[in-house]
Structure 1
Amino acid sequence: MRYTLRQLQVFIAIAHSQNLTRAADQLAMSQSAASSALKDFEHQFGVQLFDRAGKRLQLNEQGRLLRPKAEALLAQAQDFEQALLRHAEAGPLNVGATLSIGNYLAVGMMAQYMTAHPDATVRLDVANTRQIADKVLNYELDIGLIEGELNHPDLDIIPWRRDELALFCHPHDNLAQRQQQQGFLTDADLRSARWILREAGSGTRQAFDRALHGLLPELHVTLELQHTEAIKRAVEAGLGIGCLSLITLGDAFKRGSLIRLTAPQRDFSRQLYLIIHKQKYRSAGINAWIEMCRPDA
């Protein structure tokens, strides 16, 4: 064999970081050793895998074509190592989750996974839908749990579970009184509200925009925040009304610090998804996680 796993590791690390120094640090190598490994790798096959621009190394077309195969080979080698060491059949796993999932569902899922596979480790990365998708596409994450809808040719997008957004406000908000009188909120009520919403690019905002189609240009958005808890605190302070996943609001509804509003003319249901790069090697860990997420599991 004319290449080594170490050369593949260097190639992949540089593809991730686009910088030789950072790649060497990730692999606990000297910069000169990493540079030599890359040069030897390219020289052995007469190829150039990166375009050089100062200290930045950007994958060229040849590098982009070969990267998925290198990623798969390394993943298989790690899986094989786990088998040789007689560790759990499911090895280390890098999972990404959007904020609502990451803060309210993912920790329980990690506990379930690690109970079934005691020798396995799981790393959790929490961000919005767009960021999680980018990291799965860049092979930084093995699997993503997302709230937003995607359509990308390089991703397997697997329906996972249903979810529902909920409108909510402070108990003394005018709209709480309006709902008590009418039994629900009308579109005119929604137009009159001051809204505190998640940022663009989040799955929650995407579902909200879909639910309120036709009204969006007329809505008064007071604040856009990246964190679920910040939105809940702002609504509790009486700054406006919010719309978040129902799974994030249960405790606040029980305490009575927030109350749920209803607008039955609007559809706030949505689908949650698992995403995996199509060319990602499906290790035992990935397959075990997918199996755990099946509705009948």
Structure 2
Amino acid sequence: MHFSLKQLQVFLAVAHHRNVSRAAEQLSMSQSACSSALKDLESQYGLQLFDRVGKRLQANELGDYLRPKAEALLAQAQEFEQALSQQPDAGELRVGATLTIGNYLAVSLINRYMQDNSTGKVKLEVANTEQITEQLLNFDIDVGMIEGEVQHPALSVQRWRSDELVCFCAPGHPLATHPQVTDADLKEAVWILREQGSGTRQTFDRGMHGLLSNLHISLELQHTEAIKRAVEAGLGISCLSRISLEDAFKRGSLVPLQTPQRDFSRDLYLATHTQKYRGVGLNRWLSICEDYANS
């Protein structure tokens, strides 16, 4: 075997950062040592893994093909090292979750994971569906928990559990006393919504088919809690996951609006890269998620 694990680490770091100096910083190496390791790897096999685009290094077709294989090799090497040190469950699991899942469900899942694996670590990245998808494709995270529908040939996406969005307003809003809200009411209202690219917005837009172009959208915010505070302050009405609204409904700080003519049902999903190596930690996480959905 003519390559080293260090060379693979350099290759993956450069592919991730598209920059040798940033890759060197991540690996605590000098820039020259990092550059030499990459050059040696390419010269040993007489190939080129990157194309230079301005000041960036972009993985070429061969680099993209080899990247998931290198990811898998390193993951297996780390598991082997953990087994040698008699700590087979050690290691960091990188989880990406969209806002509703990350803010309202992930902590319980992390707690269960840590109870089973006290030596392991979980790094949680919370972002919208579009961003989580990009991170999965770039191998920045091991698993994505998303609210939006994603179709990509490089991703394996499976249904996790059901969810629904609910329209809501402040207790003092004129619509709060309506037993049922009509489409005419929805068109007259001022809306505060999640941003484009989020799974919540994707479901809302689908549920408002035929009406979307007539809505008065005054604010688009990236954070669920900011939207809830804005609605509580009387700035408009909104539509978010029931999961994120249950406590507010119980307190009476927000009021659900009945819109039976609109379908806001959806599914939540688990996503992994099709070529992602599934080690002990990832398999355990997926099992916990399955148990949680069935409980």
TM-score range, shorter chain: over 0.9
Structure 1 residues 52-131: aligned runs within 5 Å = 52-89=52-89, 91-131=91-131
- Cα distance in 2 for residues equivalent to 1:272 and 1:88: 30
Q: Deviations over 1:121-145 (max 9, x none)?
A: 0000000000001001100000000
- Cα distance in 1 for residues equivalent to 2:99 and 2:30: 37
**Matched residue type, 1:282:** R
Structure 2 match to 1:228:
224
- Cα distance in 1 for residues equivalent to 2:92 and 2:195: 32
Structure 1 match to 2:48:
48
Q: Deviations over 1:30-76 (max 9, x none)?
A: 11110110000000000010112343111111111111111111111
**Matched residue type, 2:40:** D
Q: Which secondary structure state, in structure 1, belongs to the residue aligned with residue 158 of structure 2?
A: strand
Unaligned runs of 5+ in 1: none
Structure 1 residues 28-47: aligned runs within 5 Å = 28-47=28-47
CA contact (8 A) 2:71 2:276 kept: yes
Q: Deviations over 1:202-252 (max 9, x none)?
A: 000001011111110111111100000110111011110011111111221
Q: Which secondary structure state, in structure 2, belongs to the residue aligned with residue 102 of structure 1?
A: helix
TM-score, length-normalised on structure 2? Answer: 0.97
Structure 2 match to 1:157:
157
Matched, 1:276 2:279: no
- Cα distance in 2 for residues equivalent to 1:42 and 1:125: 33
Q: Which secondary structure state, in structure 2, belongs to the residue aligned with residue 118 of structure 1?
A: coil
CA contact (8 A) 1:88 1:117 kept: no
Q: Which secondary structure state, in structure 1, belongs to the residue aligned with residue 52 of structure 2?
A: strand
Q: Which secondary structure state, in structure 2, belongs to the residue aligned with residue 251 of structure 1?
A: helix
Structure 2 match to 1:18:
18
Matched, 1:240 2:229: no
Q: Which secondary structure state, in structure 1, belongs to the residue aligned with residue 161 of structure 2?
A: strand
CA contact (8 A) 1:90 1:288 kept: no
CA contact (8 A) 1:236 1:257 kept: yes
Q: What percentage of aligned pairs have identical amino acids?
A: 63
TM-score, length-normalised on structure 1? Answer: 0.96
Q: Name whichever of 62-71 and 34-43 sits farther off.
A: 62-71
- Regions of 4+ moved over 6 Å: none
- Cα distance in 2 for residues equivalent to 1:79 and 1:155: 23
Unaligned runs of 5+ in 2: none
Provide the aligned C-alpha RMSD in A: 1.1
CA contact (8 A) 1:90 1:284 kept: no
Q: Which secondary structure state, in structure 2, belongs to the residue aligned with residue 213 of structure 1?
A: coil
Q: Which secondary structure state, in structure 1, belongs to the residue aligned with residue 120 of structure 2?
A: coil
Structure 2 match to 1:264:
260
Aligned residues: 293
Matched, 1:249 2:248: no
- Cα distance in 2 for residues equivalent to 1:118 and 1:63: 36
Q: Deviations over 1:172-201 (max 9, x none)?
A: 111113x1xxx2111111111111000000
**Matched residue type, 1:202:** S
Shift of 1:84: 1.6
Shift of 1:296: 3.6
**Matched residue type, 2:232:** E
CA contact (8 A) 2:145 2:269 kept: yes
Q: Deviations over 1:242-292 (max 9, x none)?
A: 111111112211221111111011111110000000000011111111111
CA contact (8 A) 2:79 2:88 kept: no
Q: Deviations over 1:117-173 (max 9, x none)?
A: 111100000000000010011000000000000110000001101111111101111
Q: Name whichever of 90-99 and 206-215 sits farther off.
A: 90-99
